[in-house]
């Protein structure tokens, strides 16, 4: 097992990884930008190294600085968390070349699944259901239009290297197709430096349901149930829960088996997520694979009693998983709300500043993952999420009631937050009924649900 791990991240996920390492008796190294000098992950780690100025490209995306910090402190492995370099195959490859273990899948697998059109092709060959669309990438609008006519409208236009909703547009008819394709492609070039696109039949107002998998290097792949992430805006998740309120045992079994096949097809190891679209007839289609730990992993941990971060570390060290598929049982219902420093009434405008006072909720079945504290400076340079509230109940009704209580109890003074907005969702009849799909937030804000 590793003696020292460097965490190439910040905020709550860096704190989460540090705590997992400490529980395993592993020393930790934090890296930080000058803006994060007084961040919690810096205080909690055994050692810390400044890797650059505030801008992410000069610090948390600075591969040379991070590798230098790892080698200088004698760290044997790097955990990338999520975001930043977590799905950067070049970084994973350079870790390997420098005899540092990257706690995640191999760079070859990251490449294979990071390219969305290639991932679709791989899933088709593995017998995993995919949305009807292109098997090969497309680059030109004229070529794409010919294929679109075969698929049929509405069409989802996506960047092959995309993520976070960037490089993604919906074409409703042949009339707007060229314009939407060009817009999506420009976004892809701007965000990812790649003009490669692919097309899918657009599943209107689907649910977003994903399966957590984890695999070791000894051939074991385990699916740990599904998470419903349908409550989102602009393809950014806001609320996640496990299990999905619409899932049947039959469809769950099929979907989990498909997720395991997907991981096996690419020789996957570490924690990963297979994301599916689920239509109103409970037909599911592969969307993409995230080759990293997810923001919403705690809801899976709550219902399965597992520690995914510790398992990732064990797998990276060459150890087998501590459980098999037969060991996984599901207990109750878990919900996660992302608490962001933002103003929902002003288009979710970020609200950076100093938190002068903060009170966190607690109690039976309540978990808060955060790096914020009284006096913490919410930086304008990074994501606006300041905490995740995760609750666990015997069933979904109890979990919703616990989340309402937790949101009421949490106090944040000094910056604006989305606490009231999240509470209003918990009170909403459509959400309570479990029928919210990916169009829910848009309709919620218009008062249509």
Would you name the residues annotated as active-site residues?
292
Report the alpha-carbon distance of residue 58 to residue 49 in Å, rounded: 14
DSSP 322: S
Task: Return the DSSP state at 346.
Answer: G
52 preceded by a cis bond (ω within 30 of 0) = no
Contact between 192 and 166 under an 8 Å Cβ cutoff? The reply is yes
| DSSP label of 345 | G
119, 113 contact by CB (below 8 A): yes
**Of 119, 94, 116, nearest to 107 (Cα)?**
94
| Cα distances (Å, whole numbers) of residue 31 to 9, 11, 128, 293, 401 | 7, 11, 39, 19, 38
β-bridge pairing 101-102 and 155-163 = unpaired
Q: Are 35 and 407 in contact (CB under 8 A)?
A: no
Q: CA 316 to CA 318: how far, in whole Å?
A: 5
Judge contact between 419 and 412, C-beta under 8 A. Answer: yes
Compute CA distances 26 → 197, 216, 307, 309, whole Å.
43, 20, 15, 13
Q: Structure tokens of 260? A: 């395991």
Show the DSSP H helices in 218-366 as ranges.
249-265, 297-304, 308-316
C-alpha count within 13 angstroms, C-beta hemisphere, residue 182: 5
Q: What is the CA radius of gyration of the chain?
A: 21
Residue 346 burial by Cβ neighbours in a 10 Å radius (0-12, 13-18, 19+): exposed
- First CA to last CA across the chain, in angstroms? 51
Nearest residue to 247 (alpha-carbon basis) of 303, 324, 292: 303
Which of 361, 369, 365 shows the shortest CA–CA distance to 331? 365
């Amino acid at each position: 097992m590793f003696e020292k791990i460097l965490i190439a991240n910040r905020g709550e996920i860096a704190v989460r990884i540090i705590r997992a390492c400490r529980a395993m008796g592993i020393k930790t190294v934090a890296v930080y930008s000058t803006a994060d000098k007084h961040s919690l992950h810096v205080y909690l780690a055994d050692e810390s190294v400044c890797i650059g100025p505030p801008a992410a490209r000069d610090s948390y995306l600075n591969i040379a600085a991070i590798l230098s910090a790892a080698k200088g402190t004698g760290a044997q492995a790097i955990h990338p968390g999520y975001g930043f370099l977590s799905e950067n195959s070049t970084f994973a490859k350079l870790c390997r070349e420098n005899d540092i273990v990257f706690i995640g899948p191999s760079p070859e697998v990251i490449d294979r699944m990071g390219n969305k059109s290639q991932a679709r092709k791989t899933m088709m060959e593995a017998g995993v259901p995919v949305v009807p669309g292109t098997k090969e990438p497309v680059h030109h609008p004229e070529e794409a239009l010919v294929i679109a006519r075969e698929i049929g409208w509405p069409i989802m236009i996506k960047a092959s290297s995309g993520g976070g909703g960037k490089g993604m547009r919906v074409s409703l008819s042949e009339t707007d197709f060229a314009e939407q394709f060009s817009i999506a492609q420009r976004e892809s070039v701007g965000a990812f430096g790649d003009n490669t696109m692919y097309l899918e039949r657009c599943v209107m107002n689907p649910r977003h349901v994903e399966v957590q998998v984890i695999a070791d290097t000894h051939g074991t792949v385990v699916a740990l149930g599904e998470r419903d992430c349908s409550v989102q805006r602009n393809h950014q998740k806001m609320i996640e829960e496990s299990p999905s309120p619409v899932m049947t045992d039959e469809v769950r079994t099929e979907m989990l088996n498909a997720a395991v096949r997907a991981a096996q097809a690419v020789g996957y190891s570490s924690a990963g997520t297979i994301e599916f679209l689920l239509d109103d007839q409970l037909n599911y289609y592969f969307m993409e694979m995230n080759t990293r730990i997810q923001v919403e992993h705690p809801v899976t941990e709550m219902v399965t009693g597992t520690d995914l971060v510790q398992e990732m570390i064990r797998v990276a060290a060459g150890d087998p998983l501590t459980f098999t598929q037969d060991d996984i049982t599901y207990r109750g219902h878990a919900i996660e709300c992302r608490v962001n420093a933002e103003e929902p009434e002003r288009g979710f405008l970020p609200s950076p500043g100093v938190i002068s006072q903060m009170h966190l909720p607690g109690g039976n079945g309540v978990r808060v993952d955060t790096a914020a504290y009284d006096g913490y400076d919410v930086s304008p340079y990074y994501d606006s999420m300041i905490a995740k509230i995760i609750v666990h109940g015997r069933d979904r009704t109890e979990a919703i009631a616990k989340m309402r209580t937790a949101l009421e109890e949490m106090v944040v003074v000094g910056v604006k937050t989305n606490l009231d907005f999240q509470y209003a969702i918990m009170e909403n009849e459509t959400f309570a009924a479990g029928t919210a799909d990916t169009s829910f937030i848009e309709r919620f804000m218009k008062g249509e649900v």
